[in-house]
Copies of this chain bind each other. A is one copy, B any other.
Amino acid sequence: MLKKLYHGTAFYPELWSAEVVSNDISWMEEIGINVVRIGEFLWSTVEPQEGHIELGLLVQVIGQLHEAGIETIMCTPTATPPVWYSHGHPERLFVNTEGTRLGHGSRQHACTNHPYFREKASIITDRLAQELGQLPGLIAWQLDNEFKAHVSACMCDVCRDLWHEWLEQRYGQVEHLNECWGTRVWSQSYQDFRQVPQPGPTPFLHNSSLQTMYQLFSMEKIAEFAEEQAAIIRRSSPVPVTHNSSMAFHVDNERLFRSLDFASYDTYASAAHYSAYMLNCDLFRNFKPDHPFWIMETSPSHAGSIAGSGTPHPNGYLAAEAVAAYASGAEGFCYWLWRQQRSGCEQPHGSIVSAWGKPGIGYENVLEAEAARKSIESAILNSRPVRAEAAITYSDRAKAFLTTESHGKLRHRGLVSLVYDVMLQTGMHRDLIPEGASMAGYKLLWTPFVPHLSSDYMNQALAFVDNGGIWIVGPMTAVRTEEHTVPTNAGLGDLEKFTGAETIFTYDMDGTGTLGEAFGVTAPLSLWSTVFKPVEAVSMGTLLGGPSPGMSFLTEYRRGLGKLVLLGSMPAEEEGSEMLEQILIHYGQEANVKRLLPFTQGTIVIPRKSHHEDLWVIINMNGQGGSVTLPMNGTDKLTGVSISAGNLVVKPYEYRLIALPAGV
Which chain B residue shows the least CB distance to A512? B311
Which chain B residue shows the least CB distance to A481? B342
Q: A308-B408, A507-B302 are in contact. Are A203 and B94 (CB under 8 A)?
A: yes
Interface residues on A, range: 35 or more
Stretch at the interface among A327-335, A353-361, A420-428, A603-611: A353-361
Q: Is A571 an interface residue (CB 8 A)?
A: no
Contact indicator B187/A488 (Cβ below 8 Å): no
Q: How far is the CA of A186 from the CA of B625 in the complex (A)?
A: 42
B residues near A109, Cβ cutoff 8 Å: 202-203
B residues near A187, Cβ cutoff 8 Å: 41-45, 77, 80-82
Contact indicator A103/B407 (Cβ below 8 Å): no
Q: Is A620 an interface residue (CB 8 A)?
A: no
* Closest-CB distance, A393 to chain B (whole angstroms): 23
Q: Is A26 an interface residue (CB 8 A)?
A: no
Interface 0/1 of A204-242, CB less than 8 Å to B: 111111100000000000000000000000000000000
* Closest-CB distance, A507 to chain B (whole angstroms): 5
B residues near A358, Cβ cutoff 8 Å: 491, 502-504
Contact indicator A205/B312 (Cβ below 8 Å): no
Q: A15-B184, A107-B203, A187-B42 are in contact. Are A407 and B308 (CB under 8 A)?
A: yes
Q: How far is the CA of A56 from the CA of B415 in the complex (A)?
A: 49
Interface 0/1 of A191-210, CB less than 8 Å to B: 10001010111111111111
Q: How far is the CA of A206 from the CA of B305 in the complex (A)?
A: 11
Query: Which of the residues B203, B344, B361 comes within 8 Å of A185, measured between beta carbons?
Result: B344
Q: Is A589 an interface residue (CB 8 A)?
A: no
Q: A107-B186, A203-B107, A206-B106 are in contact. Are A306 and B77 (CB under 8 A)?
A: no
Q: How far is the CA of A343 from the CA of B486 in the complex (A)?
A: 7
Q: How far is the CA of A491 from the CA of B201 in the complex (A)?
A: 44
Copies in the complex: 3
Q: Is A417 an interface residue (CB 8 A)?
A: no
Q: A202-B102, A488-B356 are in contact. Are A304 and B44 (CB under 8 A)?
A: no
Q: Is A383 an interface residue (CB 8 A)?
A: no
Q: Is A99 an interface residue (CB 8 A)?
A: yes
B residues near A185, Cβ cutoff 8 Å: 12, 15, 41, 341, 343-344, 346
Interface residues of A in 285-342 (CB under 8 A from B): 301-302, 304-315, 340-342
B residues near A405, Cβ cutoff 8 Å: 306, 347-348
Contact indicator A184/B348 (Cβ below 8 Å): no
Contact indicator B106/A203 (Cβ below 8 Å): yes
What are the 8 tightest A-B residue pairs by CB atom distance, in nearest-first order?
A182-B343, A185-B344, A308-B408, A44-B187, A106-B202, A150-B203, A205-B345, A80-B187
